[in-house]
Chains A and B, each alone.
Chain A
Amino acid sequence: MKFSRIGLVSLLILMSASFVQAGTLQDVQKEGYLKCGTHIENPGFSALNSKGERIGFDVDFMRAVAAAVNVKEIKFTPLTSKERLPALQSGEVDLLIRTTTFTMSRDVKLGLDTTVTTLYDGQGLMVRKSLGIKSAKELDGASICLQTGSTTELNVSDYFRKNHMNFTPVVFDKQADVRKAYDAGRCDVHTTDISGLAAQRSLMKNPDEHIILPEVISKEPLGPFVRQGDDQWADVVRWTINLTIAAEEKGVTQANVEDMYKNSKDPEIQRMLGKTGSLWKDLGLDQGAPVRVIKAVGNYGEIFERNLGTKTPLRMERGLNALWTNGGLMYSPPFR
């Protein structure tokens, strides 16, 4: 199963004649669909709703990119964490948005490019309230359930080594199995990115029995990955996401974007939405792209609140993910 999947992907790398790298944008537009790597199930980020549609924070950015390049369809490829990078390298997907942490080695060594951080996250530790633990420093000797093949595994090892504590990892291939094992009482601790913990907690038997400890043991900037060597495609992804951030800053929303396009006097909004200038044409898209994007998914704030915010089962605060004008880190370079 897992084995054969990775084998297949590696075989793709082996067999495919060295095709021309550039031109993902043209390929996507010609084929009429966008190939996206995504989660199997991670509520809030990418999961199926009751109607069988894939929804979530990560999915919305895929829809934004699809709207920008003007294709109607997205082909989702659900991947486990160890399958995701080979799937992108081999060309099985053109865009990977799957709560994947930007790291130097992934950027430099693996033929991949990072784009824009869509979520500033950090790794957290979740325990049962009944243990009466207040801090991660009290976890010496605990057993910890986690998912294989993620930065999670290294961070937790680093943290325990640094604090001279011991632990026993129990490592699963799928996040759902990590949750089941933790929920069954196999481990004292469940660890992954804090956003992921919130998502997993919402699926547990008694979500209120568990608390996320205050320590954040790592930096986890999450965002879309593309293959290296196709600058145009990387730019399309980068500026589509920047657009959603800038739109929130300028007060452009899903509801008012048409109105803003027609009536706004702000020159940056006019350039950003493609009314004046030729920014989007220079990128290789058409000038109608930005309005399509915002109409499809809204601005960054809307995407966040819809999928992760305090009114969702994940109950996440904006925190670091607030706009820079509100004390957060979300910041788009200027549209000029």
Chain B
Amino acid sequence: MSHSSAPQKVVFWRNPQVRIWTFQILMLVAFLWLAVSMYENTLINLRTRGISSGFGFLKNEAGFRIGESSGIVLPQGGVLWFLLSLVIGLCISKFISSHQKTISDGPLNCKWMSICLFFSIVLPAFTLYFFRNSIEILHYAESSSYTLALAVGLVNTLKVTVIGCVASTFLGLLIALGRLSPNWLLNRLCRWYVELNRNLPLLLQLFFWYFIVLQQLPNVRQSISLGGWMFLNKRGLFFPTLVPETGAWAFSIAVIIALTGVFVLFRRSNRLLNETGTAGKILLPSLGLLTGLPALVWLFLGQPFTLDYPVFKGFNFHGGTGLTPEFTALVVGLTIYVSAFNAEIIRSGIQAVSKGQREAARALAMKETQVMRIVILPQAMRIIVPPITSEYLAIAKNSSLAVAIGYPDFVSIGGTILNQSGQAVEIVGIWMGVYLCISLLISLGMNIYNSKVALVER
């Protein structure tokens, strides 16, 4: 046998490269074989049992009613123009600002900034205004298709998920800060909150929030009236709605522009503060923006919104908007349950930031709130974001427990369709696909955010 160190004459099955590739390919083949045989098996099984298959049934009339449905916004051709003008506007302002930077090497001056503002906000806003009819809002009715019914369910699920994620993060932060507080009582209370909520099953908590709380509320006819325009009873909380009038579009666009303007002003003054040490005046100009622009539109186009009050008629309140007990129970239950987990994640993240950082910040005479906001939390984020992502995924998935307390979420409506049409395999496929997409989107978003807060490595 040769003892030379040169990598000569390795038998080919001992070559690591060959091995790696062989196993990868074998794995792929096995997977494909499994997938293909499962697909064929399904088709054969469905056929031999005389079960019709395919997704054609999605076009059929649904025929059932859905308790809570918000309109589905369907963009039409004109939205393309909006997107196009947005992209063009952003590109132009980006170009101008980078061009300006290279010339003056200081903060952008006011003239150029307003030009940027015009291109990136005002132009798209006006495109949106002129093409406003190109957005179609579909409202679900019994005669709508199964597809629209599923879309309504999806919107309901997303609604709960988004609200749950935001609310549970804020609540979790508060509880975490409470647990870190030197105040004995607050500390223990928060600890009990966490332990209690983490150790009770979610379904049990949902039942608690739904059935126990529902029992306590008065009947419709004995509603608690809050100031004569808000009503609370077993059917939910009813409050007035804004009804858009003719000027509503222009008005909302004016508000958006004003808000963006304030944001830009704020950024600019922050930058000035960092570069020169004195903050620019922002209070007066932003107040002017916020009141002036909408007021102008109001003046020229008339009252943009009117209020629609809930009125009791027959069996129930009509008009206004109602928050149903199903929706409320689901959001409250999910939020409280997940906030306990979030609190632990945030607490551990905060505690993981080294003590020296806090001491250094205090040495600079920062206030306690500033220490937390400017020094501790940004560093804790790196530790917090990855585990909190899985809590967000949990909210999206656990919202399917809605079916137990009568909230028409995606799974609940899918279940109805499954039973009406009998297309179990297809519906389960849609469920799996949609939840997979939601989960992947959440984790994509959180990963992008994570890469922003992560330690910059050089």
Q: Please give the residue numbers on chain A whose beta carbons come within 8 Å of chain B beta carbons, in ascending order.
A: 1-3, 6-7, 9-10, 13-18, 21, 81-82, 85-86, 89, 105-106, 109-111, 139-143, 145, 148-150, 153-154, 156-158, 160-161, 167-174, 177, 180-181, 184-186, 188, 227-229
Contacts and interface: CB of A to CB of B under 8 A. Distances in A.
B351 interface: no
Contact of B315 (A18, A109, A141): A141
A170 B400 contact: no
A14 B46 CA distance: 9
B63 A157 contact: yes
Interface string B167-198: 00000000000000000000000000000000
Interface in B304-353: 313-316, 318, 324-326
A149 B419 contact: yes
B67 A170 contact: yes
B428 A2 contact: no
B137 interface: no
Contacts of A161: 142
Contacts of B415: 2, 6, 82, 148-149, 173
A196 to B, nearest CB: 16
Contacts of B406: 145, 170-172, 177, 181, 186
8 contacts: A9-B424, A18-B44, A21-B49, A86-B418, A142-B314, A153-B64, A157-B142, A170-B324
Nearest to B402: A173
Interface of B: 38, 41-42, 44-46, 48-52, 63-67, 142, 203, 211, 214-215, 219, 234-235, 313-316, 318, 324-326, 400-401, 403-406, 408, 411-412, 415-416, 418-422, 424-425, 428, 431-432
B316 A110 contact: no
Nearest to A227: B49
B45 A148 contact: no
B411 A2 contact: yes
B65 A186 contact: no
Nearest to B316: A141
B428 A153 contact: no
Contacts of B66: 169
B154 to A, nearest CB: 15
Given A157-B64, A168-B316, A186-B234, 9 more contacts: A13-B424, A85-B419, A143-B315, A143-B316, A154-B64, A154-B420, A169-B64, A172-B404, A173-B403
A14 B424 CA distance: 11
Contacts of A110: 50-52, 422
A180 B406 CA distance: 11
Given A111-B51, A168-B316, A16 B411 contact: no
A170 B350 CA distance: 43
Nearest to A181: B406
Nearest to A90: B424
Contacts of A10: 424-425, 428
Contacts of B41: 14-18
B431 A13 contact: no
Contacts of A82: 415-416, 418-419
Contacts of A185: 214, 219, 234
B315 A184 contact: no
Nearest to B143: A161
B63 A158 contact: yes
A224 B400 CA distance: 31
Chain A contact residues: helix, strand, loop or mixed: mixed
B326 A141 contact: no
A180 B219 CA distance: 15
Contacts, number: 160
Given A170-B326, A185-B219, A15 B422 contact: no
A16 B38 CA distance: 9
Contacts of A156: 65
B277 to A, nearest CB: 58
Given A111-B51, A141-B316, A184 B214 contact: yes
B313 A177 contact: no
Given A227-B49, A228-B49, A89 B424 contact: yes
Contact of A143 (B48, B235, B412, B425): B235
Contacts of B314: 140-142
Given A148-B412, A149-B416, A229-B48, A141 B235 contact: no
B142 to A, nearest CB: 5
B424 A229 contact: no
Contact of B411 (A3, A81, A167): A3
Nearest to A85: B422
Contacts of A229: 48-50
B49 A148 contact: no
Contacts of A143: 235, 315-316
A304 B45 CA distance: 38
B422 A109 contact: yes
A16 B45 contact: yes
A188 B219 CA distance: 10
Given A153-B64, A173-B403, A186-B325, A7 B428 contact: yes
Nearest to A156: B65
A98 B22 CA distance: 53
A138 to B, nearest CB: 9
Nearest to B68: A168
Contacts of B318: 141
Contacts of A184: 211, 214-215, 234
A38 to B, nearest CB: 17
A110 B426 CA distance: 13
Which 5 A-B pairs have CB atoms at the shortest separation, nearest pair first? A149-B419, A111-B49, A111-B50, A110-B422, A111-B51
A173 B412 contact: yes
Contacts of B313: 141
B50 A149 contact: no
A313 B371 CA distance: 69
Contacts of B420: 149, 153-154
A109 B422 CA distance: 8
Given A3-B400, A82-B416, A153-B64, A21 B42 contact: no
A153 B416 contact: yes
A169 B51 contact: no
A91 to B, nearest CB: 9
Contacts of B46: 13, 111
Given A157-B64, A185-B219, A14 B51 contact: no
A168 B46 CA distance: 36
B45 to A, nearest CB: 5
Contacts of A174: 404
A181 B214 CA distance: 8
Contacts of B49: 21, 89, 111, 227-229
Given A18-B48, A21-B49, A85-B419, A148 B424 contact: no
A157 B62 CA distance: 10
A21 to B, nearest CB: 7
Contacts of B424: 6, 9-10, 13, 85-86, 89
A148 B416 contact: yes
Contacts of B400: 3
A142 B315 contact: yes
A184 B425 CA distance: 36
Contacts of B64: 153-154, 157, 169
